Every structure is written in structure tokens, then in C-alpha cells.
């Protein structure tokens, strides 16, 4: 299997730059595919001259660093100019292998899909594509002050949809969006939920992880984890916390709001804006900024939290919400995109319509002050998380590969 993740490497630290849930997805699915007997080569763009040409990420999973454009300082919106160079190097790599080395191509994000479409035609193998995010969906739910996705991305996505033998959607909603917004052939759209590493994201002794992370045993911990950018709406959370404290000042002595992650996307234009907002709202004694952390440490942060807030304007799935639930922590999330699939409203967490701070403050308060509700949601979160495991994702993905290959063979014969 050739996987293409051009604009961000599965080896990058999620939570900053362009690294996020997609990075986790690519690596975790590749590892499970390899365990089932499918070797995976992941092609990604080299961002440093110090990177080796190849890195074995796991048994059967090889990350290939492709030289295409300057190593550093190249923004994502500048990457389309490097597609030809990247594609040439991918084709050269395959040409050095025995004939028929790759059985299929699985591309992630539209830039990779452009390369995947070329490889499909050259190698005569099916192209399976995962969008992860879609320009039309993001532009319909644009955060205030955020930058809309450019027309060239919309056109590029449409080209990939038209070229792919199969499109993997994270949820039923995403499948409908592909069909309704991009006129995708319903027969080529398959729904496969992403997963969670249930061995890493699991309940931890709360007192112990709180000591480790410097949190008081009786603290009310409202955690945000992810990239700091308008799309993820951490500002909505801070404004809601300000309303919450204005309405009930007694919570202030116990409330802690860790923000785990780094600036990304349009958030890079003003990397200090969230800290400045915390100052303006008088929350610097409450908010704690934490740099991006690895998966094991993120699991401990989630387990230590009273609740995890996911106020995004748009999410194709919402991996952080699934991971938090796997630790037994309730989630308060925006009722958008894949979050409506990940969070079982009223059972594993609460879904909030819109992004008005007062509505968010009310939802946060419900979970923070009602211990019985927290216990019920915690038990429901664990049940809900069991629906999502990377092993299930990999098994279903292999079936998509097989159906796509069979369909391509039938078309070739006819």
C-alpha cells in the first residue's frame, strides 16, 4: 500500500503547525494494516535536510521523506506549486521497485489526492482518498476573522473526488457532504469511522495524574486540546469561562483551564492572540498554556480533566473528543460535523448548538457542578469510546481497498 500524506508527516507532533488528527489517523491505520499483513509506505514531504530518506515508523510501516521545494518556511498554501516535483519523486520510487509493487494508493487531504490520481493512472491501481476536511464545509462554517479556503482548493478537491475509485468518509454526515457538495458517486463513498488507541487512552487514577500534572486534587479542570486557530474556537471556550465566573465567582478558586497545543493555520498570523484574550478577560490566573504533548501524556491530561471542551466550528470527526471519552472524561462539544457522531448527547457528553458564550457557559456549569451528571456521562463516555478502535478502522479500510480493486478490475475487463 502506498499512502500519501504530502503536507504533514505522520511523524510530526500533533497539536501544532499542520499536525493534528490526520497525522494520528495515517500512522495508526498504517500500523494496524501492517499488523494484518499489508506493508505500507507513507510518502510525505521532507521539511528538514536532517531527515533521513526513510524512517521505519513500525514493523511494516516505512515513512519516505520526499524532497519537494524548500525544506522550511513553506506554508501549506504554497504547496500546490510543489505537486509536480513531489509526484515525480513518488513515481521514481515506485519505478525502482519490482513491477506491481503497490496494490493501491490511499491519499489523505486534497493535495495528496492530486498526486494519488497521477499514481493511479501510471500504476494501474485503485485510488482510495480520505478528504479529512473539505473547503466547502469549512467555508460554510467560517469562524469570525478566519481566512476562507481558496478557490483552487475547491477545484482541486473536486478533481480528486472525480478521480478516486473510492472515497472514505469519517461519518454519515461527511458522506452526505461529499455527495451533495461535490457530486460524488454514492456507490464510491464508504463510511469508516476513525478510531482511538484504547491501550493508550484509558482511565487513569485521577489523583495520581493530577499530582503528576500539577493540578489540585479538587480542581475543576476544563481542558482544551488541539491546534490553536480560529477553526478550533478556543476563544469561544475562554469567553464562556469568563461568563461562567462572572455568574458564579465561587468557582474561581478551583477552576483550571489548560490549553494544550500550539498555533496553527491562520492562528500563526497572531500566535499570542489567545493569551492576549485571556488577559483581556481577566483569566490569566485560570488559564494554563501547555505546549503540544505526545499521545500518552495527552491521555493523562484527558484523564485528569473534569471535562474536555471541543468548541470547533467544523470537525470531520473530532478525534480529541473520542480520545477524551476513552479515558472516561465527559465531553462538551459543538453540535457540528463529526462531533454529533462521536459524542452521544446527554449520555457521553453534551452537545451545544452554536458558539454563543452564554450557552457554552451553561453547558460547562451543568457538568462542573452536578457530580451525579458527571458520573453518568463518564460511564457513558467509556461505552461510547468502545465504538471507535483503530483495529475496526483498519479492517473496514481493507474492505474498501478490496472493493475498489475489484471494481477497477471489472471496469478494465469491460
Q: Is 293 annotated as a binding residue?
A: yes
Q: What is the pLDDT of residue 264?
A: 60
Ligand-binding site membership of 170 (annotated)? no
Q: Is 20 annotated as a binding residue?
A: yes
Pick the closest to residue 2 from 89, 85, 131 (CA basis). 89
Report field, pTM of the whole predicted structure over 0.85: yes
Predicted local distance difference test score (pLDDT) of residue 73? 77
Walk along the chain (414 residues) in steps of 10 and give the mean pLDDT of each run: 95 78 94 95 94 96 96 86 96 94 97 98 97 94 85 97 98 97 97 96 97 97 94 96 97 97 61 90 96 95 98 95 98 97 98 98 98 98 96 96 93 76
- Does 232 appear as a known binding residue? yes
pLDDT at 271: 59
Q: Is 329 annotated to bind ligand?
A: yes
Would you say 184 is a known binding-site residue?
A: no
Would you tell me the crossing angle of helices 371-385 and 319-326 to the nearest 10 degrees? 110
Q: Is 22 annotated as a binding residue?
A: yes
All domains in the chain, ordered by first residue: 2-195+390-413 (3.40.50.2000), 206-387 (3.40.50.2000)
Q: Is 295 marked within a binding site? A: no
What does the pLDDT read at residue 270? 47
Closest by Cα among 233, 386, 204 to 298: 204
Task: Look at the block and give the residue holding cell 536532517.
Answer: 50
Does 18 count as an annotated binding residue? yes
The reply to whether 328 sits in an annotated binding site is: no
Amino acid at each position: 500500500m502506498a499512502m500519501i500524506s504530502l503536507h504533514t508527516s505522520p511523524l510530526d507532533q500533533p497539536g501544532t503547525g499542520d499536525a493534528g488528527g490526520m497525522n494520528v489517523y495515517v500512522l495508526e491505520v498504517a500500523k494496524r494494516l501492517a499488523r494484518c499483513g499489508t506493508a505500507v509506505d507513507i510518502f510525505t514531504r521532507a521539511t528538514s535536510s536532517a531527515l533521513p530518506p526513510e524512517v521505519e515508523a513500525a514493523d511494516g510501516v516505512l515513512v519516505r521523506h520526499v524532497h519537494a521545494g524548500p525544506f522550511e518556511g513553506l506554508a501549506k498554501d504554497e504547496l500546490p506549486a510543489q505537486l509536480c516535483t513531489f509526484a515525480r519523486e513518488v513515481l521514481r520510487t515506485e519505478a525502482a521497485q519490482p513491477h506491481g509493487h503497490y496494490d493501491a494508493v490511499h491519499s489523505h487531504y486534497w493535495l495528496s489526492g492530486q498526486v494519488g490520481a497521477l499514481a493511479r493512472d501510471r500504476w494501474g491501481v485503485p485510488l482510495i482518498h480520505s478528504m479529512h476536511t473539505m473547503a466547502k464545509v469549512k467555508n460554510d462554517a467560517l469562524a469570525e476573522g478566519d481566512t476562507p479556503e481558496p478557490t483552487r482548493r475547491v477545484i482541486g478537491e473536486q478533481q480528486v473526488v472525480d478521480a478516486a475509485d473510492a472515497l472514505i468518509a469519517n461519518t454519515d454526515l461527511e458522506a452526505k457532504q461529499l455527495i451533495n457538495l461535490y457530486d460524488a458517486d454514492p456507490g464510491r463513498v464508504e463510511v469508516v469511522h476513525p478510531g482511538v488507541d484504547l491501550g493508550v487512552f484509558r482511565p487513569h487514577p485521577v489523583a495520581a495524574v493530577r499530582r503528576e500534572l500539577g493540578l489540585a486534587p479538587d480542581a475543576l479542570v476544563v481542558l482544551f486540546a488541539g491546534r490553536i486557530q480560529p477553526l478550533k474556537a478556543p476563544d469561544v471556550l475562554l469567553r464562556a469561562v469568563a461568563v461562567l465566573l462572572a455568574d458564579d465567582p465561587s468557582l474561581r478558586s478551583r477552576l483550571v483551564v489548560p490549553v494544550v497545543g500550539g498555533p496553527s493555520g491562520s492562528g500563526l498570523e497572531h500566535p499570542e492572540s489567545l493569551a492576549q484574550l485571556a488577559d483581556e478577560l481577566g483569566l490569566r490566573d485560570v488559564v494554563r498554556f501547555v505546549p503540544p504533548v505526545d499521545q500518552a501524556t495527552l491521555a493523562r491530561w484527558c484523564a485528569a480533566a473534569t471535562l474536555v471542551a471541543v468548541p470547533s466550528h467544523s470537525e470531520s470527526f473530532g478525534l480529541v473528543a473520542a480520545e477524551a471519552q476513552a479515558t472516561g472524561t465527559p465531553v462538551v462539544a459543538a453540535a457540528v460535523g463529526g462531533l454529533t457522531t462521536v459524542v452521544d448527547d446527554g449520555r457521553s457528553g453534551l452537545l451545544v448548538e452554536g458558539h454563543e458564550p452564554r450557552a457554552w457557559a451553561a453547558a460547562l456549569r451543568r457538568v462542573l457542578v452536578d457530580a451525579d451528571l458527571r458520573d453518568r456521562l463518564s460511564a457513558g463516555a467509556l461505552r461510547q469510546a468502545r465504538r471507535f478502535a483503530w483495529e475496526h478502522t483498519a479492517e473496514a479500510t481493507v474492505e474498501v481497498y478490496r472493493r475498489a480493486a475489484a471494481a477497477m478490475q471489472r471496469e478494465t475487463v469491460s
